[in-house]
Amino acid sequence: MFGILFEGDRWMAQIGYNETVMDHFMNPRNVGVIENPDGYGKVGNPVCGDLMEIFINVKDDRIDDIKFRTFGCGSAIAVSSMVTEMAKGKTLDEAIKITRNDVAEKLGGLPPQKMHCSNLGADALHAAIKDYWVKIGKISLQEAAEEEEV
């Protein structure tokens, strides 16, 4: 089993994963589920099959706790881990401004064929924030469903 893992590490490095991405893949932060979260976001990519869920709890308009559950490749897991680290402790207005490129840059880049994973991480975070805002009446369901400009 360890031979397969080490072979996988070598393969992941060969396709362009850097040390930061590998660290967040091998040691993901904030993995799990928050029962009865204040906000919940779920996004997926039907082409690659990746699926990300982000759960947030909010206190004093800040992300007090954040967890993720991801079904996907190493990049998807690393992105989920990084976006939760980036958002934790931020106000909701600060966290909603975290972009797809911000996540990829904070990871030190992703291979071109894996950039779509950074889209999913930011999108799942934004969906969780918008879910919370709908619950408290800050925005309407229609506003929450509107596509973001990239």
- Give residue 69's domain range: 2-145
Residues marked active site are found at 48, 117
Residue 150, in any domain of the structure: no
Residue 17, in any domain of the structure: yes
- Write out pLDDT tens, residues 74-120: 888 999 999 999 999 999 999 999 998 899 899 888 777 766 666 78
Structurally, the chain folds into a number of domains equal to 1
Residue 126, in any domain of the structure: yes
The Cα 7–Cα 79 span in angstroms is 22
CA distances from 129 to 48, 135, 144 (A): 25, 10, 9
Residue 108, in any domain of the structure: yes
CA distances from 110 to 73, 97, 105, 142 (A): 12, 20, 8, 33
- Residue 78 sits in a domain whose CATH number is 3.90.1010.10
User: What pTM, to 2 d.p., does this model score?
Assistant: 0.85
The Cα 58–Cα 18 span in angstroms is 32
Residue 41, in any domain of the structure: yes
- Write out pLDDT tens, residues 16-30: 677 888 888 889 999
Average pLDDT over the chain reads 85
